[in-house]
A = this chain, B = another copy of it.
């Protein structure tokens, strides 16, 4: 925005531009849009921002985001609390829940180990995971981080910490995506699919 723009608009544009994936042009468009919204809706938006930030925090058990002491999944007695699926972000939980197949509980790391980005193990919610396993009654921990260098490294690191505690540690299967075509599969995926082939 240029110096002929109203200052409050410039400030709002800069706030929007701080959000991930929103550049200066989109931010200006959003700021102009706010001008055309009813004042009541803008107030509801501002209130939603403050509310979410103030009342949502980490579940005391699995570190998922919740506005209660424990998240609904940890509170759910019908789920298998001896099976923990370790994910990077709360969004990953939604992906698993959409399958409707997983009946265990979760643990959210809130990141992956990445020395290049200066994210070390202590910056993640690893300690509370170890604590959960140590407190007992955990049968298996599934490492469900992304199949990337950082995801693999984080899974390997946590696995080394968990194994001495006598718990089964597993990793998601890698292979051809269902519905995908062989000719479009990359070499690494194809190699993994070969390596992990199952008897028919």
Q: Which A residues are within 8 Å of any B CB, using their own CB? A: 1-9, 11-12, 14-15, 18-21, 26, 28-35, 37, 39, 41-56, 64-68, 71-73, 89-91, 93-94, 97-98
Chain B neighbourhood of A89, CB < 8 A: 32
Q: CA separation between A32 and B53, bound complex, in Å?
A: 10
The 8 sampled A-B contact pairs (Cβ below 8 Å) are A1-B94, A4-B71, A4-B94, A6-B65, A8-B51, A18-B45, A28-B91, A46-B47
Q: A19-B30, A97-B2 are in contact. Are A9 and B46 (CB under 8 A)?
A: no
Chain B neighbourhood of A49, CB < 8 A: 12, 15, 34, 42, 45-46, 49
Q: A9-B65, A46-B49 are in contact. Are A4 and B54 (CB under 8 A)?
A: no
Q: Is the CB of A21 within 8 A of B29?
A: yes
Q: Is the CB of B91 within 8 A of A12?
A: no
Q: Which of B8, B26, B39, B94 contacts A5 (CB 8 A)?
A: B94
Q: Which residue of B lies closest to A72 (CB)?
A: B4
Q: A1-B94, A4-B97, A29-B20 are in contact. Are A53 and B35 (CB under 8 A)?
A: yes
Q: Is the CB of B34 within 8 A of A15?
A: no
Q: Is the CB of A90 within 8 A of B53?
A: no
Q: How far is the CB of A108 from chain B (nearest CB, A)?
A: 11
Q: A20-B29, A21-B29, A49-B45 are in contact. Are A7 and B67 (CB under 8 A)?
A: yes
Given A9-B65, A45-B49, A46-B47, 15 more A-B residue pairs with CB atoms under 8 Å apart are: A4-B71, A4-B94, A6-B55, A8-B51, A8-B56, A8-B67, A12-B52, A15-B45, A18-B41, A21-B26, A29-B91, A32-B90, A39-B53, A46-B50, A49-B49
Chain B neighbourhood of A14, CB < 8 A: 48
Q: Which residue of B lies closest to A46 (CB)?
A: B46
